[in-house]
Amino acid sequence: MRNTLAIMAGAALILMLSMLFLVLMPYLQIQGAEPADELQPYTEAEQRGRAVYIAEGCIYCHSQQPRDGAFSAADRERGWGRPSVPADYAYDQPHLLGTMRTGPDLLNVGARLPSDDWHLVHLYNPRAVVADSIMPPYRYLFETVDTPVDGERVVSLPEGLGPSGGREVVATRRALDLVAYLQALDRTYPTAALPTREPAEGDHE
């Protein structure tokens, strides 16, 4: 009985400490963090595109959290922008931080790649713009038509990569919304610096 009480007390203590260090303290650290004036709420199209991003599982291969250069990967040197801060995610519900980097971090992809045409081609055929890409094509977000109608967005594919017979590839609303969301990912505005640490022994650039 005494051992049972000790185990229960130990488990309760561990749970309380976990709540303190993993929930309460981070909450107190970011409480009151205000977004920069340059950060605007998502538009309706960007919100729809964000839903497509989630539905298509983009978070499984892409993160949205550039890290400080003092840590194991110098994301700034990769061109992924400054380290992210809590206020960068003020309008993100749910947060899409991600933990995998099968592909590059996307928090600032809208600043790195501001061309709608590039993103549409990349979604239709990733290897058309990144030769060694392992990203799968998302061709079901597009339609192949004989003659585009007014208002349809024709995708400017490189010669030889489009459909045969003079047909054209047009982007669906889901593709356009997804690109709108990707273009909204731009956190390159200045922000207050967060505490940093010196590189620890064993860290690798």
What are the pLDDT digits (tens) for 23-49? 666 555 556 667 888 999 999 999 999
Could you tell me the CATH number of the domain that includes residue 91? 1.10.760.10
In a domain, 9, yes or no: no
In a domain, 189, yes or no: no
In a domain, 8, yes or no: no
In a domain, 25, yes or no: no
pTM score, whole prediction: 0.81
pLDDT digits (tens, 9 = 90+) for 65-124: 998 877 656 788 888 988 898 889 999 999 999 989 999 999 999 999 999 999 999 999
In a domain, 98, yes or no: yes
State how many domains the chain has: 1
**CA separation for the pair 116, 63 (Å, rounded):** 21
**CA separation for the pair 120, 130 (Å, rounded):** 13
In a domain, 96, yes or no: yes
In a domain, 67, yes or no: yes
**CA separation for the pair 20, 1 (Å, rounded):** 29
Residue 166 belongs to domain spanning: 48-184
Which is nearest to 48 in space by CA: 186, 187, 175?
Answer: 175
Which is nearest to 96 in space by CA: 133, 64, 53, 135?
Answer: 64
In a domain, 68, yes or no: yes
